[in-house]
Amino acid sequence: MPVMAYSPIEQGRLVTDEGLGEVAGELGVTPAQVALAWLLARDGVIAIPKAGTVEHVRENRAAADLALLPETLARLDAMFPLSGGPVPLAIL
């Protein structure tokens, strides 16, 4: 079943996440791009970021071409672990 990340930048809050910022700095990309590339690396996952500027649209599109290494994906998995079981869908 496909999964849709409907708030993939957490309504903008992820751009100031310290861990994402570290990874982004090492790769020379932005935190938003790391967040999107991490999601898109998973089979069957799509992301629908909302962008209000052309710059953000371009940046987010470029994230689709960002291939993260397995060790980077594992690092991000550890930073943002899955929940232990079913949780209610957040209403935004």
At residue 46, the 3 state secondary structure works out as: strand
- Contact by Cβ (8 Å): 84, 3: no
- Which structure tokens are listed for 42? 């998973």
Q: How many residues bind ligand NAP (CB under 6 A)?
A: 20
- Assess 60 for contact with ligand NAP (CB under 6 A): yes
- Assess 61 for contact with ligand NAP (CB under 6 A): no
- Assess 7 for contact with ligand NAP (CB under 6 A): yes
The one-letter amino acid at 51 = A
The one-letter amino acid at 85 = G
In whole angstroms, the minimum distance from the beta carbon of 58 to ligand NAP comes to 8
| CA dist., res. 27 & res. 62, Å (int) | 14
Measured from the CB atom, the residue of 78 and 89 that comes closer to ligand NAP is: 89
Interface residues with ligand NAP (CB under 6 A) are: 6-12, 15, 30, 32, 48-53, 56, 59-60, 92
